[in-house]
Amino acid sequence: MKTENNIIDKILSEIDEYQSKQFELDIERDIAWEKFLIEKGHKYNTPTSYSIKLLKDNGHNPLAICSYYGEETFFFKSAKEAKKAYEEMEVEKGLVCGWFHSVEEISELKHPDGIKIEVEWVK
C-alpha cells in the first residue's frame, strides 16, 4: 500500500526542473503571504481570517467559520446568502476559496472520520 509520502515522491519525480522550481517558488510565496497575514492579525480558519475580511468588505455577512476538508468553510444565515457569497466571491471574483453553507448545515457536516465539525462564530 502506498503512503502519502510515496505518492508525493512519485509526483515530484515526474516533474521537470522548471516545474520543480515553480513549485518551490509557489511554496515560498505562500509561506511569505501567510506570515504577512499573521503579522496583520489574520489567521486562516478563524474569525480573523483574511477571507472573512474580504467577505465583509464585499457586503457579505458570514456568521461562522471552520476548516472542512482542509479548506475554510463559511456559514451564512441562509443557503441563499451562502450561494450568493460563493457566486460572487469565488466564481466571479476569485477572491475567496472555500465551502459556503447555511448555519442550518452545521449540525449535518462531519469530518471524514465521522467527527462533527466545530465552528468559531464571527463577531
Residue 44 covered by a domain: no
**Count, residues in the chain:** 123
Domain match, 55 and 115 both: yes
Q: Specify the pTM.
A: 0.80
Does one domain contain both 33 and 62?
A: no
Same domain, yes or no: 34 and 56: no
Structural domain includes residue 101: yes
Task: Note the pLDDT of residue 114.
Answer: 92
Same domain as 113, residue 86: yes
Q: List per-residue pLDDT tens for the chain, 123 residues long.
A: 445 567 777 777 888 889 888 988 999 999 999 999 999 999 999 999 999 999 999 999 999 999 999 899 999 999 999 999 999 999 999 999 999 999 999 999 999 999 999 999 999
Q: Which residues pair with 66 in a beta bridge?
A: 73
What range does the domain containing 31 cover?
A: 4-39
- Looking at residue 3, what is its pLDDT? 53
116 residue type, one letter: K
H helices of 1-123, where?
Answer: 4-13, 17-39, 50-57, 79-86
Residue 21, in any domain of the structure: yes
